[in-house]
Structure 1
Amino acid sequence: MADVHEERDRLEVAAEELADLEAELEELTFPVTGSEVVAAIGDRKIESAEGSYSIGELVPETDEETFDSPASVWVQLPQPTVAAAMKRVVEASKTLRNTDFPWSQRKAYEKTFQELKAIDADDDDEGIQVISDWVVDRIRDKETLPTSRAVRREAAKFCRANGYQIRNDEWLGI
């Protein structure tokens, strides 16, 4: 539970706003789907160091995405650009027939987006946008989820093409 509190601190959300949002989440009956969260509080805005985001921009609006507790919703919020990218990918993956998006693959995509975010905090998270666009395009064009390795490889190519040093022993160092 300490990790959830650390994640909340990184949001830089005013304490009263945080309490209001927690109260709204507590009103939901868990487990809930992403669609239910968005329907209930999707218009609710949070302010972070990265800007203003609605919950609907950060939580995938699908019935396949489920949350066991308010804390499991909070996990989506600390890094809004990563959450928004994952929302796009998860929602795009739902257009595929007979395709499962395993938790381990999803976590690998998320880690790739987090590594892109860590590369340069001042770049407006361009890498996250570029790679999430690439993943969504691959889903649409090839009708399959790219492997987590392919996503990491594409992220590494983006980083190197933009002058970011990637060591072979790092997550993106494929």
Structure 2
Amino acid sequence: MADDKSGRDKQARDAERRQRERDVVAELERGDETEPPVDPAELDDFEAALDAVEFPATGSDVVAAVGDRTLTEGGESYTVEELVPDTDEERFSSTAAVRMRVQRPRIAAAMKRIVEASDSLPNVDLGTSQREAYEKTFRELKAIDEDDEDEGIRVIGDWIVERIHEKEKLPGSRDVRRQAAKFCRKNGYSVRNDEWLGV
């Protein structure tokens, strides 16, 4: 981009647009959830790299453009390729949507496995409401303070993928929540009946 007034103006408008999108996403995400574990400055750099992608974009478009980029959660590093399904079925409306997906790498990695497993099923579509229910279950598991290694996310992600392969269909969100509640209770984490996992 040229370093002239119009180029600087475009950069400023792009930065303002990205900030507005982040604010909207943050407001929607706010509540009793845990804070995103990836450093916001790292996410800002990642989002700037997404300027090369034309939105709406597929998961394949995102992976092709920034798949080798690294994001760090705690002591672990993840490439974007490990977090975003490399498929044309996965669609993102904006850079903010991609940012929201990768800001919790362990959840994103579990969802990537589920999306890729469901891609192999004929006539099966992982709809928005079902995806949101799976992600909410993973966020509830992430919120368990005592579970520093996020074992629950891994265990329930494995369970969903096994069900997809065994039964050749997606498990219902209620079944996933029930399985997550069993995991919690088995490992000494309390689950009340009025909570998301309390089915």
Q: What's the TM-score, normalizing by structure 2?
A: 0.80
1:173 alignment partner in structure 2: 198
Deviation at 1:130, TM superposition (A): 0.3
> Of 134, 137, 160, which aligns to 1:109?
134
1:68 alignment partner in structure 2: 93
Is 1:54 matched up with 2:71? Answer: no
> Of 118, 132, 157, which aligns to 1:93?
118
Seen in structure 2, the aligned counterparts of structure 1 residues 12 and 63 have a Cα distance that, compared at 3 Å, is closer
1:162 alignment partner in structure 2: 187
Is 1:13 matched up with 2:39? Answer: yes
**CA separation in 1, counterparts of 2:167 and 2:60?**
26
Larger-Rg structure: 2
DSSP-derived class of the 1:53 partner: strand
Segments of 5+ residues of structure 1 without an aligned counterpart are: none
Deviation at 1:52, TM superposition (A): 1.1
Corresponding pairs, count: 172
Work out whether residues 67 and 73 of structure 1, in 8 Å CA contact, stay in contact via their aligned partners in 2. yes
**CA separation in 2, counterparts of 1:134 and 1:52?**
24
**CA separation in 2, counterparts of 1:120 and 1:50?**
17
Work out whether residues 52 and 65 of structure 2, in 8 Å CA contact, stay in contact via their aligned partners in 1. no
1:42 alignment partner in structure 2: 67
Is 1:152 matched up with 2:177? Answer: yes
Deviation at 1:5, TM superposition (A): 5.4
Seen in structure 2, the aligned counterparts of structure 1 residues 13 and 150 have a Cα distance that, compared at 3 Å, is same
Percent identical pairs in the alignment equals 60
Q: Which moved more, 1:53-62 or 1:163-172?
A: 53-62
DSSP-derived class of the 1:52 partner: strand
Q: Deviations along 1:101-150, whole A, 9 cap, x unmatched?
A: 11101100000000011113543000000000000000001101000000
Work out whether residues 43 and 103 of structure 2, in 8 Å CA contact, stay in contact via their aligned partners in 1. no
DSSP-derived class of the 2:36 partner: helix
Seen in structure 2, the aligned counterparts of structure 1 residues 121 and 68 have a Cα distance that, compared at 3 Å, is farther
**CA separation in 2, counterparts of 1:89 and 1:69?**
22
Q: Deviations along 1:41-75, whole A, 9 cap, x unmatched?
A: 11110123352111111111110111111111101
Q: Deviations along 1:7-37, whole A, 9 cap, x unmatched?
A: 7x8344373x444322210111111100111
Work out whether residues 4 and 74 of structure 1, in 8 Å CA contact, stay in contact via their aligned partners in 2. no
Q: What's the TM-score, normalizing by structure 1?
A: 0.91
**CA separation in 2, counterparts of 1:95 and 1:123?**
32
Is 1:129 matched up with 2:129? Answer: no
